[in-house]
Amino acid sequence: MANGADRQTIIDALLTLLAEKLLERIGLDDIARAAGITLAELRGEFSSVIAILAAHMKDIDRKVLSADTADMGEEPPRERLFDVLMRRLDAHAGHKAAIRSLMRSTLCNPALALAMNGLAARSMSWMMTAAGISAAGPKGALRAQALTLMYVRVLSVWAEDEDPGLARTMAALDRELARAERWSGMLDTMLAIPERLRAGRWRARRRRDPNPDDEIVAA
């Protein structure tokens, strides 16, 4: 069974391999060899390549969530989310080549794209929560999915942004968050429609039968 140090070694081995080749060309034996462990030890820690990627994303989540956010309390939600997602991009530093490789693989592998979308949406739920934005219920799930698609677009800009100040990346993130803010407003409106319809039907029923209790008493 791999220990904690081996776990990180396995993740690092996969990221190193991804920087050199596409995911579909990386086997479990390649990862074990690069990590300097046996296949048995690799299997003891991870069940698949996707599980290794999931562990890496969970580590990124923890790095972002462990940051002190006390100074963000007075900021509007959009600014809080901007700060959180920039911290996430900073946590990706050093793995641009691996991320570029993984993004190329998702473009031609629907199953991989679906799996990575699920992992990313879960991470985005945590990022929303860190920014003080509700990720609960169906509305939260929709927001997390929309944020996932938005983040992927920003990530593609970040992956090619060689400016140490990340000016292009920050401009893209600001633009995408403005779009997301408009979409969230529309989502709130759309989700409020069924409730308004139910209320309208109830009011119409009350107008048709303004005092149903009188009938019960009369009976």
* Residue 216 placed within a domain: no
Domain range holding 12?
1-47
Judge whether 161 lies within some domain.
yes
DSSP letters for 61-93: HHHHHTS--GGGTTS-HHHHHHHHHHHHHHHTT
Q: 109 with 150, same domain?
A: yes
Q: Are residues 147 and 63 in the same domain?
A: yes
Do 60 and 23 lie in a common domain? Answer: no
Domain count, the chain: 2
**Which is more confidently placed, 11 or 208?**
11
Clarify whether residues 31 and 76 are in a common domain.
Answer: no
pLDDT at position 216 is: 40
**b/e per residue 111-143 (b: at least 16 CB within 10 A):** ebeebbeebbbbbbbbbbbbbebebeeeeeeeb
Rounded to two decimals, what is the model's pTM? 0.81
Q: 139 and 60 share a domain? A: yes
pLDDT surpasses 80 at 191: no
CB-side exposure of 113: number of CA atoms within 13 Å? 10
- The CATH number assigned to the domain holding 174 equals 1.10.357
Q: Which of 165, 194, 19 is nearest to 90 (CA)?
A: 165
Task: Show which of 47, 70, 85 is a domain's final residue.
Answer: 47
8 and 116 in a single domain? The answer is no
Residue 218 has pLDDT above 90, yes or no: no
**Amino acid 219: pLDDT:** 40
What confidence tens digit (pLDDT) does each residue in 114-140 have?
A: 999 999 999 999 999 999 999 999 989
Residue 96: CB atoms within 10 A of its CB come to 16
The CA-CA-CA angle for residues 107, 113, 116, to 5°, reads: 135
Rounded to the nearest 5 percent, the helix, strand and coil shares of the chain are 80, 0, 20
Write the pLDDT tens digit of every residue in 143-190: 999 999 999 999 999 999 999 999 999 999 999 999 877 866 654 554
Closest by CA position to 130, among listed 174, 178, 67, 193: 67
Mean pLDDT for 1-19 is 85
Q: Closest Cα partner for 15 from 74, 99, 75?
A: 99
Assess whether 77 and 179 both reside in one domain. Answer: yes
| Mean pLDDT within 186-205 | 53
Q: Which domain CATH number covers 32?
A: 1.10.10.60
pLDDT in tens, 43-91: 999 999 999 999 999 999 999 999 887 777 778 888 999 999 999 999 9
Q: Dihedral of CA 97/103/109/111: which sign?
A: positive
**Quick one: pLDDT at residue 2?**
47
Supply the pLDDT for residue 175: 93
Q: Are residues 87 and 188 in the same domain?
A: yes
101 and 189 share a domain?
yes
For residue 183, which of 132, 137, 149 has the smallest C-alpha distance? 149
Whether residues 119 and 152 share a domain: the answer is yes
User: What does the alpha-carbon distance between residue 21 and residue 100 come to, in Å, rounded to a whole number?
Assistant: 10
